[in-house]
Amino acid sequence: MTHDPAAPLAVFTVSLGCPKNLVDTERLLGVLGPGMVPTDSVAGADLALINTCGFIQPAVEESVAAILDAVREADEARETTGRRPLVAVAGCLVSRYGQDLRDELPEVDLWLSTDQIALWPGMIGKAIGRARIIATPGIGDAPRRLSTGPAFAYLKISEGCSHNCRFCTIPAIRGPHRSRPKDALLAEAHTLAASVPEIVIVGQDSTAYGTDLGGDNTIRNLVAGLAEIPGISWLRLMYLYPAGLTDDLLGFLKSVGEPLLPYFDIPLQHAHPDVLASMGRPFARNPRKVIDRVRNHFPEAALRTTFIVGYPGETEEHFDQLMRFVEETRFHHLGVFPYWPEDGTPAAAMPHQVDQETKLARRDALMALQADISREIMESHVGQTLPVLIEDPSPEWPGLHLGRAWFQAPEVDGTTYVAAPPDKPLTPGTIVQAEIDKADTYDLSGLV
């Protein structure tokens, strides 16, 4: 398929899964510009790009559904206009299933696996006849076309993972842990800070940053450098593995102060030592220790975590201890996932698999407990004046804006709704002081 190389390139994109995937999509879009024009429909596109997730079965199903939708819409466009957009599928699903996926979906025009990421521009350019794109060396340090709006941007500091958790497909899909050099990250962050006030650091294990590079490429030096960049009002660390949160590192983070937020996203996955050991987690001891350690340095910390329920061999006793742990710890934010036996992982072959009904019941029970905790935490903010980062005006209510307090990470936590007089609309990407007058289970409402 070829197009006029001088004509604008209309591109439809869907980016599924984690923020790290989204960064890849944004970099690729940056490479395709400046002649790239985003479109919100496959029918109006020259290129339809689906960047997939293949981490667990629900993500696989979501990705396959998105591919099928894109193929169907591309075929319909050919029937009505005589011209079919090129359908390209990228990301983790391609890397995980390879030739099997190609055989099942021959309607897809181009497959882009994660181990070919440096070749994506050339492959796309060749497929659509764009010589300039073919000549692009890769997307590693390419300028990004942000898709997250004027309030925040993700900064992906590493790729892959070198842990050996027995339930996880990431090392097989994305390879071992590989850090991006500190100087390249700081240069990218300078560019991002000119557009957005919040930088969200993401990686499969952010505490492992730089361990594969040596020199001054350390999480300390990176955070210290980011904290000095003008324009960054909020700096948020995500994906902090428990084993990496030492007293030494926490003491350093405390010394950084603003703009670093006292927000800790710590994927614990369980609370019982037997289950943690069976999972092969790098922190297989009592998780209370790491929570106590964080709160010793940051009494005001907002804590987010994720748990897996129904892991092979998880008993009612194990689950009851997890419930007690959540009740006593009082996380600000918590995600719960029923265990999925993923092909190729050691856990899938373990005995004592838990039935699906039990897994879902445990997920619902844990989320119900967390809902009560979250509501109490949210209600504690009523009457307070909080800084809120404005993201978007409400599409339904004039004068109402969607934003986030400092303890609400983008896309995964709740929302703070801020009302302003209709004649004084708030500007997305700015931080305002809002008086909180209402709380729901996960959200807040306030006035300026």
**What pLDDT does 5 receive?**
56
- Per the CB < 8 A criterion, the answer to whether 109 and 86 are in contact is yes
**What residue has token string 């993923």?**
342
- Per the CB < 8 A criterion, the answer to whether 347 and 392 are in contact is no
Same-domain check for residues 182 and 303: yes
Same-domain check for residues 93 and 175: no
CATH of the domain at 239: 3.80.30.20
* Strand 444-447 with 431-439, pairing: antiparallel
Report yes or no on whether pTM surpasses 0.85: yes
Mean predicted confidence (pLDDT) in 243-272:
96
Full DSSP string of 214-226: -TT--HHHHHHHH
Counting residues of the chain whose pLDDT is more than 90, the rounded percentage is: 79
**What pLDDT does 206 receive?**
96
Mean predicted confidence (pLDDT) in 43-50:
94
Question: 370: annotated binding-site residue?
Answer: no
Number of domains forming the structure of the chain: 3
Counting residues of the chain whose pLDDT is more than 70, the rounded percentage is: 95
pLDDT reading at 135 higher than 70? no
Q: How many Å apart are CA 129 and CA 145, to the nearest integer?
A: 22
Does 1 fall in a domain? no
Same-domain check for residues 357 and 258: yes
Residues 6+ apart with CB under 8 A from 328: none
Full DSSP string of 332-369: SEEEEEE----TTSGGGG-SSPPPHHHHHHHHHHHHHH
Question: 92: annotated binding-site residue?
Answer: yes
Same-domain check for residues 233 and 118: no
Average pLDDT, the chain: 92
Question: 398: annotated binding-site residue?
Answer: no
Q: What count of residues does the chain have? A: 448
Q: How many Å apart are CA 237 and CA 264, to the nearest integer?
A: 7
CATH of the domain at 428: 2.40.50.140
User: Which SS3 state, helix, strand or coil, does residue 379 take?
Assistant: helix
**What pLDDT does 131 receive?**
57
Handedness of CA 280, 286, 290, 291 (dihedral sign): positive
Does 144 fall in a domain? no
Mean predicted confidence (pLDDT) in 423-435:
93
Q: Which domain holds residue 359?
A: 152-379
Tell me which H or E stretch contains 281: none
Same-domain check for residues 213 and 317: yes
CA atoms within 13 A on the CB side of 8: 10
Same-domain check for residues 249 and 111: no
- Residue ending a domain, among 333, 350, 379, is 379
Mean predicted confidence (pLDDT) in 222-226:
98
If we measure between CA atoms, which residue out of 221, 202, 117 comes closest to residue 158?
Answer: 202
- Residue ending a domain, among 363, 379, 395, is 379
DSSP category for residue 48: E
Question: 309: annotated binding-site residue?
Answer: no
Alpha carbon distances (Å) from 336 to 95, 240, 244, 263:
26, 17, 22, 19
Same-domain check for residues 224 and 372: yes
**What pLDDT does 130 receive?**
66
Question: 119: annotated binding-site residue?
Answer: no
**What pLDDT does 4 receive?**
56
**Candidate from 149-163, 215-229, 273-287 with smallest mean pLDDT:** 273-287
Does 143 fall in a domain? no
**Candidate from 223-227, 249-253, 265-269, 342-346 with smallest mean pLDDT:** 342-346
- Per the CB < 8 A criterion, the answer to whether 114 and 161 are in contact is no
pLDDT band (50, 70, 90) for residue 8: confident
pLDDT reading at 3 higher than 70? no
Q: What ranges in 267-315 are assigned the alpha helix state H?
A: 273-279, 288-297
pLDDT reading at 201 higher than 80? yes
Same-domain check for residues 396 and 372: no
Question: 168: annotated binding-site residue?
Answer: yes
Residues 6+ apart with CB under 8 A from 282: 163, 165, 241, 242, 243
Same-domain check for residues 217 and 330: yes
pLDDT reading at 139 higher than 70? no
Mean predicted confidence (pLDDT) in 180-200:
96
pLDDT band (50, 70, 90) for residue 115: confident
- Residue ending a domain, among 329, 351, 379, is 379
Does 438 fall in a domain? yes
Same-domain check for residues 156 and 291: yes
**What pLDDT does 117 receive?**
86
Same-domain check for residues 281 and 423: no
pLDDT band (50, 70, 90) for residue 395: confident
Does 179 fall in a domain? yes
Same-domain check for residues 411 and 431: yes
CATH of the domain at 107: 3.40.50.12160
Q: How many Å apart are CA 304 and CA 413, to the nearest integer?
A: 9
Does 22 fall in a domain? yes
